[in-house]
Amino acid sequence: MVEIQQFFASNGIEVEALDYSVAAVGILDKVAKEKRLPIKPQIFDVNSPLPFPDGNFNAVYSHMLLNMKFTLDELHFIFSEIRRVLKPKGLDFFSVRNHNDKSYGKGREIDKGIYDINGFQIRFFTEKELQDLTTEEGGFELLG
Domain parsing of the chain, residue ranges: 1-45, 57-139
Per-residue confidence (pLDDT) for residue 144, from 0 to 100: 65
pLDDT of residue 133: 86
> For the chain (length 144 residues), average pLDDT per consecutive 10?
87 93 93 94 94 96 93 92 94 93 94 93 93 78 74
How confident is the model at residue 141, as a pLDDT?
A: 77
Element (H, E) at 134: helix 127-136
Looking at the DSSP bridge assignments, the partners of residue 91 are 59
Can you give the pLDDT at residue 138?
A: 61
What would the DSSP string read from start to end of 59-96?
EEEEESGGGSS--HHHHHHHHHHHHHHEEEEEEEEEE-
Residue type, 111: D
Beta-bridge mates of residue 2? none
Q: Tell me, what's the pLDDT at 132?
A: 87
Map residue 57 onto helix, strand or coil: strand
Judge whether 50 and 92 are in contact, CB under 8 Å.
no
**Cα(5)–Cα(11) distance, integer angstroms:** 10
